[in-house]
Structure 1
Amino acid sequence: MEARRGENIEKGFDGVSVSDEVDRESIEKKKMEDEEVLSIERCFENAEVPSWQNQLTFRAFFVSFILGILFTFIVMKLNLTTGIIPSLNVSAGLLGFFFVKTWTKFLEKSGMLNQPFTRQENTVIQTCVVATSGIAFSGGFGSYLFGMSEVIAKQSTEANDAQNIKNPKLAWMIGFLFVVSFLGLFSVLPLRKIMVIDYKLIYPSGTATAHLINSFHTPQGAKLAKKQVRALGKFFSFSFLWGFFQWFFTAGDDCGFANFPTLGLKAYENRFYFDFSATYVGVGMICPYIINISLLVGAILSWGIMWPLIDARKGHWYSADLSPSSLHGLQGYRVFISIAMILGDGLYNFLKVLGKTGSGFVHQVRDKNTGIVLPVADRPSPVSASLSYDDQRRTQLFLKDQIPTWLAVGGYIAIAAISIATLPHIFHQLKWYYIVVIYIIAPTLAFCNAYGCGLTDWSLASTYGKLAIFTIGAWAGASHGGVLAGLAACGVMMNIVSTASDLMQDFKTGYMTLASPRSMFVSQVIGTAMGCVISPCVFWLFYKAFNDIGLPGSQYPAPYATVYRNMSILGVEGFSSLPKHCLMLCYVFFAAAILINLVRDAVGKKWAKFIPLPMAMAIPFYLGAYFTIDMCVGSLILFVWGKINKAKADAFGPAVASGLICGDGIWSLPSSILALAGVKPPICMKFLSRGTNTKVDNFLAS
């Protein structure tokens, strides 16, 4: 949409009817002067662009490896707590700049600096780090992969037999990721020229990251980046030390600051409290206000109104003797109504993005100048003289280092063949012909996701994964391990379409920073390979360190693991497992999610910002409001800061938020090691009502 609008503006400008030739010349002159002022590449005109081999340095990958581990811990913790993961591109670019700049300064003082730090190398680091930590999300450690485990399966009475369970093991998780994570990179590789140059897709996140990296490497930007890194470091230290301090008070269940009944004990019982999590205060500062408000609305609607009312029907709508985690009781309403909203929102956005993708693609092909070659060829197309200086320079260098099409096609076929031969040995329920069907249609879906992401910045990887859950699960059937087959198919599909859109975002970033497509592709491959090892190891550390991982109410409840498994059960076994009136409520909330989205799109951007997002509303339906309150506190801090000094809030807000997230996230490493070593906190801090406290005192006195 944005790319088309940009082209229309250009056409409208060039097509102005001007009778006087002098006026036309003055307009063109003014246009060129404006371009001179706004040109980014003029700032770097005298800077030599290193060859693609020189952009791939040892120090870049060493820093990427260290940051990849840090960011994997952060993403894994978010995966296993609420499943809300903000964009960490800014943090990756900022920390990459800081580490390598420090490295080069040290070498420069010692007279050993052979190669200066460039924005291309910074782009390589950012790409590699995001690719590494991205596997922690697309690998399904908080969703489909952990949903296969016995811990999650035991939370329902359906499909918890041996053929629908596969417990995590380090070897098969690493093997699975290696055979499914690279296909997406090859599936859209031949389309890079069409997407970035011919169709001029925006890729908002990739464009924003490129602007950030470009600004870092100008003299003024470098000074600001140093101040931002200093702010990040301060709040990183505070967040890490705060996590360490809290640990001392968590010697038992429901102990510590994380269980502080800040809004009263009755509110605490309904999961309304501030849990002092620096991570989610930081996430709240990064997420748009509408996300946090949507979460709060969802929490009030569910835990404030619906669940107390349904709980009052205990004994009528469902048995009063059920355990709190049974899906035949209140927990079933929480899980399945949440699933209904997620599916409704996902279906609407899938159709919306698919419609935009289809219409945009048709317009692009119809309006494209016939002189430009559409199919991606190994030879570069001519650079149009009508382009701005920036676009001419970027297009010239983007087309300089071509990646052969035969490499993309051959790589896809080779990896697909290995995957088809290997996956049935990891999941015997996932037959080879299921995988063949997935790999035949996957490139088309990968293109749709990458193209739609370029238009809307919205990746629908999880929606395509859910599509695989229902289709492959139903095909396999309940008696042949359909639940596990559906979850495994979800993983295959999610990894392909997710990495495809990520790679195209990185190509856009590389295009705008003059980083070679070859260096982008190589750094993405290396980052993905790192992630295939680092992510399972980090998950294994959590899995072994915390015995209650995946259980409702625990420190790491992994809510989406339960959601994904129950989607698979729903797809295979139908609606027989739902408690009374739950199906009707699911229909209502499914329709409500679609209706809310329709209203949001109908009223326009001015009013849409006041209408909550159904996907965000659905998350606290299952988890509660505690993390929502944390995020709203983060929003409030940023809002007040913006009112006091908007320039500082805009400049340092993301850095402060990143520091809070990174510090608390990296505390997960020492806390996991302490748990594995059997070192327990010395104090349990609990909160009791006055009446309960009196009873405890009387009991102890007797």
Structure 2
Amino acid sequence: MVPVFQNRNGTKQHVPSPDLAIMRTEESEEKKEIERGDSAQEEQLQQMEEAKEEEEEEWKRIPPWTKQITARGLIASLLIGSLYSVIIMKLNLTTGLVPNLNVSAGLLAFVSIKGWTKVVQKAGFISAPFTRQENTVIQTCAVACYTIAMSGGFGSYLLGLNKKTYELAGVNTEGNNPGSYKEPGLGWMTGYLFVSAFVGLLALVPLRKIMIIDYKLIYPSGTATAVLINGFHTPKGDKIAKKQVGGFLKFFSISFMWGFFQWFYSGDVEKCGFSQFPTFGLQAWKQTFYFDFDLTYVGAGMICTHLVNLSLLLGAVLSWGIMWPLINRLKGDWYPENIPETSMQSLNGYKVFIAIALILGDGLYNFLKIMYTVGRSIQVGLNKKNLNSEQKNQRLDELRKNEFFMRESIPVWLGCVGYLCFSIVSIIVIPMMFPQLKWYFVIVAYIIAPALCFCNAYGTGLTDMNMAYNYGKVGLFVIAALVGKDSGVVAALVGCGLIKAVVHSSADLMQDFKTGHLTLTSPRSMILSQVVGTATGCIIGPLSFFLYYKTFDIGNPNGEFKAPYALIYRNMAILGVQGFSALPRHCLQLCYGFFAFAVGANMVRDLSPAKIGKWVPLPMAMAVPFLTGAYFAIDMCVGSLIVYLWHRFDNKKASVLVPAVAAGLICGDGLWILPSGILALAKINPPICMSFLPFRK
């Protein structure tokens, strides 16, 4: 039965069986609910008003572009860019798989300047306030620096020119002509980067308004970085940042000390130390299935998605667990018995060319998909009407951001003249460095490059996929076929690098412009910091490469630093020169199958329902273990497992700390490379070799 109760207007309703006690209880509860609702509404309105006031104050405090670039910011950028260059170089030369480190670079930029300001203030000096604009400039400069280490070809097309890769591809192979190699050198590598890396920075500067404001492209990585930086520079974000800084420093220390501890047991030979620990038994260890305690890849696995890590594991099981043992039993039938393991006519040929088939299938599909997406999106954009009325309905803050973004203009003539000047320098210098690549090929590359840059930057804005490596591969095959057998391999590798450098840097610049648009950072300071970071990277990149090249056995297929993509790129060039005659027996049929699998897997992911498509493996990720082995895929999956369990037990804390912990693991282990490399150069070897042998009675 329902008791008597009082309505909000004060009138009473009488119902059967009144109960005064219950009535009073419910009346008081309802009043409390109304009061709680009113107070919550008032609190929400107050928070909105405070946010508006804070936003208005932020607009008033925006520093001019000349003050957004500071001396402390440039020093921090140099340190972060150098550290990440060393880390990325290790990833390049071991597996070639590099995760997106932009967010962690933004975190490190915040940590470094906040720490600097605290030290300065404790010393009694006055320090300029740390703004989100300065944070953005530091992050942009650091990313531009370490991007050279990632996309400069140190683990792919430039390293594919060296003598060891030339020998691994088969000295007697048709197209792989004697003398068609060039040993790495600090001078020519630095010069090559300087004449090729800056062209792309100016290719799309005149189109920044179209990309960012007119087409409203998302650029997910640039947007995510802006959200992170904006979050740091709010009262709530400051609390979260303190937690992230604590997590980063804790796991940075653990990772660095673990690397130091492992060094004592690694001996002076390849099969020593924790990195060769037979986690699943000696037989599995022989097939590269073991956990090697590499915290760099554990951290990378925490950043990459579960699908990427599971795809790596699937590729490892399929190749090293099933295919290679079966093909190895066919030695003497499918390929000769008495042949070096590194020859392309042995098992190594199947590893390389099947990986190439997966990479090309995945790349071709995504290339065509992006072209279709770009075409459709541009067509829809051109057919839109009533743009003026749409602009009127935009939020005020968005209009103000657009106005600020376009206020400090960059002259169109500056971009055009700069592109032309850098192109002329490259056209003159590159043929002098590599006579195999004729000057007219360089001219053609730079004529078609702006169109390729636009397509890639537009596709990156829609999907966050920088397809520069696919444009480079297309250029590689075209140049190899046109130049021919005499000089085609070298010309193709160098030409691939030119196209990839232009297309990659232009898309990266648009990502940075998107970050600057959302953080109210001047485009002038953004492009200047990009130029400074790129110039620094052209010096730091080769130096970090030679830290490894002079210390470790780079390119050894049985060692830690396999540099798999160097061999892949050289063999793609050979394939472009001579066709399918380079493949061992039955390899072509297997390549057809895996190429079709790559295309089919992508089609299933895009066309099937989301709950099915999200479990379809990524062919590009599957291809990496085909050459490198399964051990690093297990490291990555351990990182993914940590993230999964952490989210299950404490989702709120995991969401805040996972990026910081992953960055700490990567940076700590990466920083240990510097002292270990110095020790190796000084001929100081670890005192203990820990290895494992089968037990014999």
TM-score (norm 1): 0.90
| 2:538 corresponds to 1:532 | yes
Q: Pick from 341, 346, 366 the counterpart of residue 329 of structure 1.
A: 346
The 5 A counterparts of 1:447-462 are: 447-462=454-469
| 2:247 corresponds to 1:247 | no
Contact 1:39 1:389 in 2 (8 A): no
Q: Pick from 370, 373, 378 the counterpart of residue 361 of structure 1.
A: 378
Distance apart, 1:40 and its partner CA? 7.2
| 2:368 corresponds to 1:351 | yes
Structure showing greater Rg: 2
Contact 1:329 1:579 in 2 (8 A): yes
Distance apart, 1:402 and its partner CA? 0.4
1:553 aligns with 558
Contact 1:503 1:524 in 2 (8 A): yes
State the one-letter code of the partner of 1:566: N
Distance apart, 1:271 and its partner CA? 0.9
The 5 A counterparts of 1:310-325 are: 310-325=327-342
Contact 2:358 2:623 in 1 (8 A): yes
1:136 aligns with 149
Q: 1:689 to 1:186 in 2, by over 3 A?
A: same
Q: Deviations over 1:179-206 (max 9, x none)?
A: 0001111111111000000110000010
Distance apart, 1:495 and its partner CA? 0.6
Q: Deviations over 1:469-493 (max 9, x none)?
A: 10111111111x1101100011101
Task: Answer with 349-358 or 597-606: which moved more.
Answer: 597-606
Q: Pick from 494, 497, 508 the counterpart of residue 491 of structure 1.
A: 497
The 5 A counterparts of 1:91-240 are: 91-110=104-123, 112-113=125-126, 115-157=128-170, 158=173, 159-240=175-256
State the one-letter code of the partner of 2:615: F
| 2:313 corresponds to 1:296 | yes
Distance apart, 1:645 and its partner CA? 0.2
| 2:395 corresponds to 1:388 | yes
Partners of 1:221 and 1:664 in 2: CA distance: 28
Task: Answer with 590-599 or 42-51: which moved more.
Answer: 42-51
Partners of 1:38 and 1:186 in 2: CA distance: 42
| 2:84 corresponds to 1:45 | no
Distance apart, 1:569 and its partner CA? 0.8
Partners of 2:597 and 2:282 in 1: CA distance: 32
1:472 aligns with 479
Amino-acid identity (%): 55
| 2:550 corresponds to 1:544 | yes
State the one-letter code of the partner of 1:348: Y
Q: 1:111 to 1:253 in 2, by over 3 A?
A: closer
Distance apart, 1:369 and its partner CA? 4.6
Q: Deviations over 1:306-326 (max 9, x none)?
A: 111111111000011112211
Q: 1:581 to 1:190 in 2, by over 3 A?
A: same
Distance apart, 1:38 and its partner CA? 11
2:11 aligns with none
Contact 1:156 1:326 in 2 (8 A): yes
2:432 aligns with 425
State the one-letter code of the partner of 2:247: A
1:72 aligns with 85
Partners of 2:166 and 2:435 in 1: CA distance: 18
State the one-letter code of the partner of 1:155: L
Partners of 1:627 and 1:518 in 2: CA distance: 41
For these two proteins, the number of residue pairs brought into alignment is 649
Partners of 1:566 and 1:684 in 2: CA distance: 36
The 5 A counterparts of 1:606-625 are: 606-625=611-630
Give the SS at the match of 2:423. helix
Partners of 1:351 and 1:38 in 2: CA distance: 48
Distance apart, 1:149 and its partner CA? 0.5
Gaps of 5+ in 2: 1-40
Distance apart, 1:577 and its partner CA? 1.8
Q: Pick from 691, 694, 697 the counterpart of residue 686 of structure 1.
A: 691
Partners of 1:42 and 1:390 in 2: CA distance: 13
Q: Pick from 563, 566, 569 the counterpart of residue 571 of structure 2.
A: 566
Distance apart, 1:393 and its partner CA? 2.0
Contact 1:152 1:551 in 2 (8 A): no
2:103 aligns with 90
State the one-letter code of the partner of 1:243: G
Contact 2:176 2:574 in 1 (8 A): no
Contact 2:169 2:570 in 1 (8 A): no
Q: Deviations over 1:539-566 (max 9, x none)?
A: 01211112x2111021211011111111
RMSD after superposition: 1.8
Partners of 2:385 and 2:495 in 1: CA distance: 37
Q: Deviations over 1:262-316 (max 9, x none)?
A: 1111111111111111011111111000000111111111111111111111100
Contact 2:176 2:489 in 1 (8 A): no
Distance apart, 1:227 and its partner CA? 1.6
TM-score (norm 2): 0.91
Partners of 1:40 and 1:667 in 2: CA distance: 43
Distance apart, 1:104 and its partner CA? 2.0
Q: Deviations over 1:558-579 (max 9, x none)?
A: 0111111111111112111211
State the one-letter code of the partner of 1:554: G
Partners of 1:41 and 1:108 in 2: CA distance: 30
Q: Deviations over 1:116-136 (max 9, x none)?
A: 110000000010111000000
1:505 aligns with 511
The 5 A counterparts of 1:27-42 are: 37=48
State the one-letter code of the partner of 1:436: I
Give the SS at the match of 1:576. helix
Q: Deviations over 1:439-496 (max 9, x none)?
A: 01111001100000000011101101101110111111111x1101100011101111
Gaps of 5+ in 1: 1-29, 373-382, 695-702
1:596 aligns with 601
Partners of 1:266 and 1:39 in 2: CA distance: 64
Distance apart, 1:90 and its partner CA? 1.5
Give the SS at the match of 1:45. helix
